Amino acid sequence: MRKKRFKVLLSLAVFFYTGWVLGQKEYAYMVETKITGYLHANNNSLSIGTDKGSVGGTNYMATFSTQGKTYYDFFYLQDDFNKVTINVNNYAIRLRTFPDCTYERKREINRADFGNLYLNFSGCSFSQQLYSLHTYDDENAKNNGVCLDNSVTLKFGYHWRYKLEGGSWTDFPAEYNNRIITTFNFKDLLAKTGVDVDNLSAKTVKFQTGFNNQYTNIVTYSIIACAPKLVEDPSVKNTTCYYDSDGKFSLKVDRDLVNNERLLVSIFFESAPNIYSFYKQAESSSLQSDGLGNFIYNYEGNLAPGNYKVKYQGYLGTGMIDKDDPSWTQLAFSNPFTIGTPTNVSFSIVNTANESCFKANNGYIDIHADGEDGRTYLYQLKKDGIVQFFNGTSWVNYTGSNEKTETWFAFTNGKNTRVSKLNKGKYQIKVKDSQECFAR
């Protein structure tokens, strides 16, 4: 009876262990063990465990025949672990000219720090490095998807591979592979592994890391159209008046926005010579066609005179993307552009004449105005502090209700005009241009 019960218990233990290993796919360690020399009875022991139980370990001997060799071992962790404990015990026993050697270390890693710690142990002829294997998302790709022009950063891993929708797993090219953190241009990655990027139809891409055909978690990103490309430098509308801050700009790009896509624009102003500081963000869910296959974004806000640059990106999510989000740092600035000002309106009294006799009403004031080219000028007349109105024959006090339009009179000769039919009094004159810019 004892013998039978022993066999049953043993088979249950083996089944449990095997089932646990097969179920672990999210987190793992790859242990690289280098034997750098040898001593007498020179052994290493490295064990990995978590708060959920034992994981595994390595045990190698340093000898004349093994020195210089490198070994790799792979261990999955329990998915629900909270803490990892690593114990290292490297040792050698004295014999003749070989000394004693003891190297003992213990490290504890919380789940939140997995991948953030450099785990390297070196002593008694052994150098052991642990690679934390769990793919952490590129936040921009996770939130916004990835387009061919994007740079993507994945961590933490060792051997990397990808899989396009409808395709098979493909190893990264050597220049992007076998590294803890890998950064690559998505288009470059595909092209270097034989993908026809000009006719890419896949809508998703998966990434995964591992070692020797053992892999951890998969991250999946949508493949999106790249942000529209600028066709030309930003165009500018200067401020309306010299003293205004209502400048605007527009961007001409090579495509329209797709369904649910918005254009997010970050605006930077020149706060010091050649130093551009973040100013504000703007967005638009629609662009205007120019009828020639291009589309135009018009900034609806107001900008003060000065020098500016912008960055922009297409976005399928809701809300804005924080100005410090990494997605902005990988984008290039537009060429700088300048919000200018029109020439300030000014005027001068170039000549005056009094009435030739009492109540002759033949006095006059000659005015010359200057300002922005292409604009016309108007004047308003006050007599003894009261706005005047010309009724066709003479100037009278204005009694109407539309002073802003009915009391302004156009210059009769470009930048020059004569205000005539004046009688005795103290006069004041205001001048503005056709864009409602006043002489100040």
Residue where the block lists tokens 């034989």: 194
The pLDDT assigned to 187 comes to 95
Tell me whether residue 132 is exposed, middle or buried, using C-beta atoms within 10 angstroms of its C-beta: 0 to 12, 13 to 18, 19 or more. buried
Q: For 59-75, how does the pLDDT look when each residue is reduced to its tens digit (9 = 90+)?
A: 999 999 999 999 999 99
**Dihedral angle, C-alpha 14, 17, 18, 20, nearest 10 °:** 160
**How far is 134 from 158, CA to CA, in rounded Å?**
10
**How far is 16 from 389, CA to CA, in rounded Å?**
101
The mean pLDDT value for 325-335 works out to 82
Q: Please determine whether the domains at 22-133 and 235-339 fall in the same fold group of CATH.
A: yes
The pLDDT assigned to 144 comes to 76
**Tokens found for residue 211:** 């070692």
Please check whether residue 33 is in contact with residue 128, taking contact to mean a CB–CB distance below 8 angstroms.
Answer: yes
- pLDDT at 1 exceeding the cut of 90: no
The mean pLDDT value for 353-368 works out to 94
The mean pLDDT value for 388-396 works out to 95
pTM, full prediction: 0.61
Tally Cβ neighbours within 10 Å of residue 369: 22
pLDDT category at 403 given cuts 50, 70, 90 is: very high
**Tokens found for residue 57:** 């370990």
Q: For 296-322, how does the pLDDT look when each residue is reduced to its tens digit (9 = 90+)?
A: 999 999 999 999 999 998 887 778 888
**How far is 251 from 290, CA to CA, in rounded Å?**
11
- pLDDT at 225 exceeding the cut of 90: no
| Secondary structure E strands in 114-180 | 119-123, 126-133, 151-155, 159-164, 170-171
Q: What is the CATH topology of the domain spanning 22-133?
A: Immunoglobulin-like (2.60.40)
Kindly state the DSSP code that residue 198 receives in the 8-state scheme.
Answer: G
Half-sphere exposure of 278 (CA within 13 A, CB side): 13
pLDDT category at 20 given cuts 50, 70, 90 is: very low
**Yes or no: domain 346-433 corresponds to CATH 2.60.40:** yes
pLDDT category at 37 given cuts 50, 70, 90 is: very high
**How far is 410 from 416, CA to CA, in rounded Å?**
10
- pLDDT at 184 exceeding the cut of 60: yes
Q: What is the CA radius of gyration of the chain?
A: 39
pLDDT category at 325 given cuts 50, 70, 90 is: confident
Percent of the chain with pLDDT strictly greater than 70: 94
Kindly state the DSSP code that residue 183 receives in the 8-state scheme.
Answer: E
The pLDDT assigned to 139 comes to 81
**How far is 247 from 234, CA to CA, in rounded Å?**
13
- pLDDT at 111 exceeding the cut of 50: yes
**Yes or no: domain 235-339 corresponds to CATH 2.60.40:** yes
pLDDT category at 16 given cuts 50, 70, 90 is: very low
- pLDDT at 14 exceeding the cut of 60: no
The pLDDT assigned to 138 comes to 86
DSSP structure string for 256-292: ---TT-EEEEEEEEEEETTEEEEEEEEEES--EE-SS
**Tokens found for residue 198:** 């000009």
DSSP lists the bridge partners of residue 387 as: 382
DSSP lists the bridge partners of residue 413 as: 416
Report CA-CA distances (Å) from 87 to 45, 56, 57, 90, 106.
Answer: 8, 11, 9, 10, 5
Domain boundaries, the chain: 22-133, 139-222, 235-339, 346-433
DSSP lists the bridge partners of residue 417 as: 367
Phi-psi region of 215 (alpha: psi -120 to 50; beta: other; left: phi over 0): beta
Residue where the block lists tokens 């026809």: 196
- pLDDT at 15 exceeding the cut of 50: no
User: What does the mean pLDDT of the chain come to?
Assistant: 91
Q: How many residues does the chain have?
A: 440
pLDDT category at 102 given cuts 50, 70, 90 is: very high
The mean pLDDT value for 358-383 works out to 96
The mean pLDDT value for 390-403 works out to 95
